[in-house]
Structure 1
């Protein structure tokens, strides 16, 4: 079978490898479509670890880092009873950096990492179930503190996660969703997905800070991982700032946040329950994943797709083996 494998930083190649055989509690998944996780893809291309201080070992496992995938069960490993050959399924969580990934014609999946998905959904509408689960986890963190309904909600960073956060905030009843991103095309996409206001955070007049005004954000989620973005939200949010983006630098939590009772929360644990609720949001139309897919390309054009991500000419790319 054909698959992508990074031989070195900046050197992803299409390789020919044997089709794998599922073991106990596993299935062989025939990949229908796999979506980029842009930060993973761009970091591997640059030779930079996603985690601060991390090291990438090349060559990477075959198919890495693809993990947002949908496909059909091709064959069953020993003891598998919860799925049948021909079932359409999607991965709800990344199976790990040391496992073969989904940039391939076939991939082995543990049954516990899969959910059945409707056959009537387009591949672009369901491939990124794993990302939807991830952002649901951050919303669960917020909901553990208090309701979203009726509150002004801020989203910083309108990449894939931020665009899903806009939609989830509306689904949970936010009275107004204010979205921040310096890229105009992404602000326009956020408007089409339900944002009430879209603003450029680099504009000096963008959402002026005044901790005594009721126009502040009540709740917010940062989807960038950038210190400047987190600081921006900390000054403009009253109750909760949730950190979804991978934080690689120190951020300040000062006197006015302390005395104001602001909650700053990190990322929680990925879990199947969040995935199941994300899937329900997708099925009922509250979460639209297809608009996040800028292009669908054959797997052989993987490098071209990552270049589009680097130039911010695409939000996500879907690859078909």
Structure 2
């Protein structure tokens, strides 16, 4: 299970520390969702999400302050379960002495931010989405072609990096060469990036490593990109039947997400860069509602039915 320390969150957003500075590095966040307790403060805690960060804003703290002091202490104490990573107060609110005493007894950090509750939840959710996302590193090249993230796969030496170089020369952008770090994020999407040691580097056999930024400029790279399409390169097999019309759909599954995949046979004389540009444009056209293979099939069927009549 991936986890993030409360100290990391504190440093990232420069949170104020009301109590628990010495234990921040020992408190872990394992769930990306954020809780804003409401029913729990009203006394109903049957479904309290105790593994989440608990955020208290103006509404929650004002309601809590309206209660009798003994009830306040009881309701706040019920939030301080052992598995709760931390309590965060927004909008510059400060904890009461009772809150601090209860937090110390329960060993739950209390932190604060001047941000609004909505802004802080949005920012922290985005951070945790990235840091807690399932990851996998695979062999391949990731390129941004016309805004479409294309992951190029294939056996070593088949020409993935050389194709990426040609695409860069044609104005497209490199994300990663040789190894691609993939992360599963919201809405079943996969985002790819380069490992730190390989950022902006491209390996060309016979030449060696080149720095794409140094040779082509910063406009030819990007730090990450959603993987929209997978191109699998393989040596041309005369005995194999390759897709002609594009009616059959194939997918590459990674981290539980199915991504559309085309298998492109490699043979002398084939311009792989142009083929990938066309594949990317065709993929984007399909997203906009234009499906040429289906249109062709429908038109052909209509023509055949017309002849039969």
Common fold: TM-score over 0.5: no
Please say which structure displays the higher CA radius of gyration.
2
Question: Quick one: higher RCO (CA 8 Å, sep 6+), 1 or 2?
Answer: 1
Q: What is the TM-score with the length of structure 2 in the denominator?
A: 0.26
Q: What is the TM-score with the length of structure 1 in the denominator?
A: 0.25
